[in-house]
Amino acid sequence: MDVDETREQARLDWQTGAIFRPVRTGNAFEETVERLFQAIKLGVFGFGDRLPAERDLAARLGISRETLREALRTLQQAGCVEPRRGRYGGTFVTYTMPAPDVADLRRAARDLGGTLEDALTYRQVLETGAAEAAARRTLTPGQRAHLEDRLADLEGAAPAQYRQLDSRFHLAIGELTGSPTLAAAIAEARMRLNDLLNAIPMLERNIEHAADQHRAMVRAILDGDGDAARRATEEHLAATAALLRGFLA
């Protein structure tokens, strides 16, 4: 396996573990479409990225390659992916995030109805606990570098990519806990709020404030300070929740 293949496998291991777990329902096709679309909307795979090879993805999901191909054809028809032929071919993401819009924010909030506060509380409990758990683990050099890379990607993000790279950052912390169940729960919690978070207008001051909080989270995790990691994450999530409530008031 060459260097590029090794990096691609590492990407697959880290960035898809929370979502691309085995399908366990009798609706394999529908759940596969859901998992793939979740991975795209959460930014696990962004615009222009190539999805993993069919054999690898089918094995991860525990489905047949025919079921996977049917799901990919459905996403292609929806304009989310496109197949390309040739030596560097494969299935590539063509989905682009809609521009932030307060009307979409309010529409997404109405869709959640009375469960919005529940979703915010669930996310806070999961992610503060995950940050603390990650900080209390002995991380390998590769794991530490992975978290630093996700932070660097987020800090260098263009506005159109920011929300997806923010998702990648938060999912990475879930992966660092070493608990696939917790990582999957964090991905699920993010999906419940995803349309809301993506519709928040990009405010420069808010992005600067979030950047400070993200750095504090990473610093605490890498320092092995579980209490500080929990506090930094709680502060960050509370700020996001307050911003949401402000726009919905």
DSSP state of 160: G
**Quick one: pLDDT at residue 128?**
98
Where are the extended beta strands (E) located within 59-216?
Answer: 81-84, 90-93
Instruction: Check residue 160 and give its pLDDT.
Output: 83
The mean pLDDT value for 101-124 works out to: 86
> Which helix or strand (DSSP H or E) is residue 246 part of?
helix 226-248
CA gap 185, 216 in Å, rounded? 23
Q: How far apart are CA 157 and CA 173, in angstroms?
A: 18
Question: 33-75: per-residue pLDDT in tens?
Answer: 998 998 898 888 888 999 999 999 999 899 999 999 999 999 9
The band of 13, judged by pLDDT with boundaries at 50, 70 and 90, is low
Contact call for residues 236 and 213 (beta carbons, < 8 A): yes
CA–CA distance, 233 with 216 (Å, rounded to integer): 8
Give residue 2's pLDDT band: very low, low, confident or very high (50, 70, 90): very low
Instruction: Tell me: pLDDT of 229 over 90.
Output: yes
- Greatest Cα pair distance, the chain, in angstroms, is 54
Q: What is the pLDDT of residues 77-92, one digit of tens each?
A: 999 999 999 888 899 9
pTM more than 0.85: no
Q: State whether residue 95 is helix, strand or coil.
A: coil
